[in-house]
């Protein structure tokens, strides 16, 4: 989308100023000509006209250098990083400073202010916060640059092209609140009977990460290196847990299932590996190789499917772990076989 033209509108102060001017103008026409009366009206007109011109100049020529929006859960505020720059006037000259620039984003629910620049000289960045949004993926093709500067009488705005996405994924807490805290996926210990357990084969040593079991600490290596060291099992490295989401359900059930899947994706982002499977979707989320942003994006955009659609299919072997999500296991199934 190309940059639109600058649009000028009076602010509240400007509207009241115009009303006052109209009253004075009527009084001027009703009475005999007076030089000082004309001088005051001329001053008012100069103030308003030049104010509009300068407001136009204040936003004209602003470009979006960068726009980044961090993905956030439903109900959470998110950080926005906006970098604006002004076009060069002529070679070697300092760019004209701009004051009071607001950057607004259209997230589908109206324009929301993402950042505010008190002074923009050449290039400047600002971090702001956007209010909570509904679940979904919103394509941001334009950012609105607005200003009331210099006199607060006229608001000038211009829509500048940009390319960004606003991803709002499901709230991972919903499933917990609705159906209790799901049991986390357990690693294969190898010693646990009947199914889920952990491998006994030592694959290597690695630094301790939050969430590791105290029982896996290699004490001798820890003493030698002076920091906690964990015994890494072979099965941990190879273990991949499929998370299957069947979207042939009602919207409320889907939201619950997506919430639970989001919790797994967020957990796998730090540790472990999961394969997110649904109709038309198969994504691997791995702590080392990534994949979480794509998965969160898919979770943000997922929609209900009709019951006539086929069931989710996975390209990998049969899953190796069972995960009992809650009261509706039929809609979020993580199946595993020992």
Pair 72, 137: CB distance under 8 Å: no
Q: Which is nearer to other proteins, 85 or 269 (CB)?
A: 85
C-alpha 103/C-alpha 328 separation (Å) is: 44
Q: Residue 72 and residue 80: Cα distance in Å, rounded?
A: 11
User: Min. distance of Cβ 76 from other proteins in angstroms?
Assistant: 21
Q: Which is nearer to other proteins, 60 or 297 (CB)?
A: 60
Q: Which is nearer to other proteins, 150 or 293 (CB)?
A: 150
Where does 281-319 show beta strands of DSSP type E?
281-286
* Cβ proximity to other proteins, 40 vs 177, nearer residue: 40
CB of 129 to other proteins, least distance (A): 13
User: Applying CB under 8 A, which residues contact other proteins?
Assistant: 12-13, 16-17, 20, 24, 29-40, 42-47, 49-50, 54, 85, 88, 91-95, 97, 99-100, 116, 118-119, 122-125, 148-153
* Nearer to other proteins among residue 10 and residue 293 (C-beta): 10
Q: How far is the CB of 58 from other proteins (least distance, A)?
A: 10
- Which residue lies nearer to other proteins by CB, 151 or 208? 151
Radius of gyration of the chain from its Cα atoms, rounded to whole angstroms? 30
Find the shortest distance in angstroms from Cβ 30 to other proteins.
Answer: 5
Q: How far apart are CA 244 and CA 155, in angstroms?
A: 51
Strand ranges in the chain using DSSP code E only, listed in sequence order: 7-10, 62-69, 72-73, 78-86, 98-106, 111-120, 123-130, 136-147, 154-169, 202-207, 229-233, 241-245, 273-278, 281-286, 320-324, 332-336
Nearest approach, Cβ of residue 5 and other proteins (Å): 22
Question: Shortest Cβ distance from residue 148 to other proteins (Å)?
Answer: 5
In contact, 231 and 216? CB cutoff 8 Å: yes
Q: What CA–CA distance (Å, rounded) separates 156 from 265?
A: 43
Nearer to other proteins (CB atom), residue 16 or residue 225: 16
Residue closer to other proteins, measured from CB, 52 or 138:
52
Q: Which is nearer to other proteins, 101 or 258 (CB)?
A: 101
Find out whether the peptide bond into 150 is cis, omega within 30 degrees of 0.
yes
- On whether the CB atoms of residues 61 and 163 are closer than 8 A, the answer is no
Smallest distance, Å, CB 59 to other proteins?
Answer: 13
CB of 10 to other proteins, least distance (A): 13
First-last CA distance in the chain: 54
Q: Is the dihedral of CA 101, 105, 109, 112 positive or negative?
A: negative
Beta bridge partner(s), residue 229: 207
Minimum Å distance from CB 40 to other proteins? 5
CB of 203 within 8 A of CB of 188? no
**287 DSSP 8-state letter:** T
Task: Indicate the helix (H) or strand (E) that contains 158.
Answer: strand 154-169
- CB count within 10 Å of CB 36 equals 7
* Cα dist from 186 to 195, 232, 306, 314, whole Å: 11, 15, 33, 21
């Amino acid at each position: 989308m190309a940059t639109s033209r600058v649009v000028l509108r009076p602010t509240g102060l400007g509207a009241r100023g115009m009303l006052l001017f109209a009253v004075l103008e009527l009084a001027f026409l009703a009475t005999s000509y007076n030089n000082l009366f004309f001088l005051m009206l001329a001053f008012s007109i100069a103030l308003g006209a030049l104010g509009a011109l300068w407001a136009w100049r204040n936003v004209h020529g602003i470009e979006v250098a960068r726009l980044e929006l961090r993905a956030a859960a439903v109900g959470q505020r998110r950080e926005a990083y906006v970098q604006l720059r002004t076009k060069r006037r002529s070679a070697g000259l300092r760019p004209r400073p701009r004051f009071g620039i607001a950057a607004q984003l259209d997230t589908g629910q109206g324009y929301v202010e993402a950042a505010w620049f008190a002074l923009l000289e050449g290039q400047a960045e600002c971090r702001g916060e956007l209010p909570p949004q509904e679940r979904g993926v919103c394509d941001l093709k334009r950012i609105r640059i607005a200003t009331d500067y210099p006199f607060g009488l006229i608001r000038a705005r211009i829509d500048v092209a940009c390319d960004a996405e606003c991803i709002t994924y499901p709230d991972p807490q919903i499933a917990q609140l609705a159906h209790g805290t799901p049991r986390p996926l357990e690693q294969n210990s190898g010693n646990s009977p009947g199914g889920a357990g952990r491998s006994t084969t030592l694959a290597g040593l690695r630094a301790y990460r939050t969430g590791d079991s105290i029982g896996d600490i290699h004490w001798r290596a820890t003493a030698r290196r002076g920091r906690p060291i964990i015994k890494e099992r072979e099965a941990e490295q190879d273990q991949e847990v499929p998370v299957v989401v069947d979207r042939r359900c009602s919207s409320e059930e889907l939201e619950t299932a997506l919430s639970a899947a989001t919790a797994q994706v967020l957990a796998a982002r730090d540790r472990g590996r999961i394969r997110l499977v649904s109709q038309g979707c198969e994504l691997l989320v791995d702590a080392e190789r990534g994949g979480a942003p794509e998965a969160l994006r898919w979770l943000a955009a997922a929609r209900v499917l009709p019951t006539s659609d086929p069931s989710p299919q996975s390209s990998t072997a049969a899953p190796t772990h069972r995960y009992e999500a809650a009261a509706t296991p039929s809609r979020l199934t993580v199946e595993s076989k020992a």
